[in-house]
Amino acid sequence: MQIHLEQVQGMLLGLAVGDALGAPVEFGWTAHSILAKWNGQMQDHRIPAGYYTDDTAMALCLADSLLECDGYNSYDVMSKYLKWATAGYRASEDNGMPASDIGSQIALELERFVIKPAIYKNRARLTGAGNGGIMRLAPAIIVTCNQSEEESMRLAKVTSRETHYSKEADASAEIFAIMLWQALRLDDKNAIVNVDKYSTGTLFDSILNRIMRTKNLDADKYLKDLGGYVVDSLKIAVWGFLNFDSFRQGMIEVIRLGGDTDTNASIYGQLAGAYYGYKAIPTQWRTRLRFCDDILEIARKLYEQQPNKILVTRFEEDGKEYFKDLPQQ
CA–CA distances in Å: residue 257 to residues 44, 245, 270: 20, 18, 18
* Binding flags for Mg ion, 261-300, as an x/- string (CB under 5 A): -x--------------------------------------
- Spatial neighbors of 3 by CB under 8 A, at least 6 apart, are 145, 146, 184, 185, 303
Rank residues 53 and 79 by Cβ distance to Mg ion and give the closer one: 53
C-beta nearest to Mg ion: residue: 53
In the bound complex, what is the minimum distance in angstroms from residue 26's beta carbon to Mg ion?
A: 7
H/E stretch holding 73: strand 72-73
Closest approach of Cβ 152 to Mg ion, in Å? Answer: 24
Min dist CB 235 to Mg ion, Å, is: 18
In contact, 140 and 8? CB cutoff 8 Å: no
Q: What is the CA radius of gyration of the chain?
A: 18
Contact yes or no for 292/13 (Cβ under 8 A): yes
The answer to whether 105 and 164 are in contact (CB under 8 A) is yes
3-state secondary structure of 313: strand
Residue 117 C-beta: closest distance to Mg ion, Å: 25
Helix intervals (H) in the chain: 5-22, 31-37, 54-69, 74-87, 104-115, 138-143, 149-161, 167-183, 189-193, 202-213, 219-222, 230-243, 247-256, 261-276, 283-288, 292-305
What is the smallest separation between the CB atom of 33 and Mg ion, expressed in angstroms?
A: 19
Cβ closest to Mg ion, residue 55 vs residue 174: 55
CB nearer to Mg ion: give 64 or 262: 262
Q: Which of residues 198-237 bind Mg ion (CB under 5 A)?
A: none
- Residues in the interface with Mg ion (CB under 5 A) total 4
CB neighbourhood size of 201 (10 A): 11
CB of 23 to Mg ion, least distance (A): 6
Task: Put residue 328 in one of left, alpha, beta given phi > 0 → left and psi -120 to 50 → alpha.
Answer: beta
Segment contacting Mg ion by CB under 5 A, of 142-150, 166-174, 239-247, 259-267: 259-267
Is the Cβ of residue 16 or residue 31 nearer to Mg ion in the bound state?
Answer: 16
Q: Any contact of residue 76 with Mg ion (CB under 5 A)?
A: no
Contact call for residues 198 and 174 (beta carbons, < 8 A)? yes
SS3 category, 311: strand
Least separation in angstroms between residue 54's CB and Mg ion is 4
Q: How far is the CB of 251 from Mg ion (least distance, A)?
A: 15
Residues 39-58 binding Mg ion (CB under 5 A) are 53-55
Q: Which stretch binds Mg ion (CB under 5 A): 91-99, 118-126, 213-221, 256-264?
A: 256-264
Smaller CB distance to Mg ion: residue 54 or 109?
54
Q: Which positions touch Mg ion (CB under 5 A)?
A: 53-55, 262
